[in-house]
Amino acid sequence: MKISKSFILAFLSTSIFVACGTNTTSTEENSGEATAMESCSYTYMADSTSLKWTAYKFTKKIGVSGTFDSITVTNTKSAESPMEVLLGADFSISTASVNSGNPERDPKVVAFFFNKLAGTETITGKINSINDGEAVVSITLNERTVDVVGKVSLEEDRVTLEVSIDITDFEGLDAIASLNEVCSAQHTDEDGESKLWPEVDIMVSTVLKKECK
């Protein structure tokens, strides 16, 4: 797969030289103080990026998860802050590369969901802002762009973004109904009702390359 504050890792190393004579002054004691600084930068690595989506079926809302095999991220940057690397980044997802782990299901998702929407050979978007653990992401689907607020976290060099979208916001309920109809048997629970929910959860995770000097 092809968000701003300054982040500097620093340490201060102090050595105090004490003379053997009795006439050592405090100035002499501190004259050996030394400082060493280390700065690090982060860059995006496409081959470390993973995406997981979770859709929901049945009236009791059971999750079905998968990914997309073709994701491109552009407009990243080298920065001292991990979040700044991805701030302003654009992404493009090929809908034909949907991968639910079920080779019989995937063609149906493309034909009866994505192909029922306008201009959805790709899902595109942009990371607009990152602040205090929240990110605002613009997502374009069915020729409609919606800003969604998600959670962003950092653990060591790994950045994780989690967002939830509602297909209703993209006027895609007809496509939901289309897919639910063709997969009715798989979406029918013990209550006899066939249900495909419009909510989809998305989690994107990437490990940044860290270089220090």
pLDDT of 42 reads 96
Best CA proximity match to 116, nearest among 153, 82, 143, 83: 143
* Residue ranges of domains in the chain, CATH in brackets: 10-212 (2.40.128.110)
Whole-model pTM?
0.79
pLDDT (0 to 100) of residue 124? 97
pLDDT of residue 3: 40
Q: Phi/psi at 46 (nearest 5 deg)?
A: -60, -35
Query: 98: closest CA among 155, 166, 51, 143?
Result: 51
Please list the rounded mean pLDDT of every run of 10 residues in the chain (213 residues). 36 34 47 60 95 97 97 96 95 97 96 95 96 96 97 95 98 98 95 96 96 91
Alpha carbons within 13 angstroms on the beta-carbon side of residue 8 total 8
Q: Which two tokens stand for residue 89?
A: 């980044």
**pLDDT at position 2, please?**
39
DSSP structural state of residue 69: S
Q: In angstroms, how far is CA 111 from the centroid of its own chain?
A: 27
Can you give the pLDDT at residue 36?
A: 55
pLDDT value at residue 5: 36
- The pLDDT assigned to 38 comes to 78
pLDDT, position 145: 98
Give the pLDDT of residue 11. Answer: 32
DSSP H helices, 59-105, are 82-86
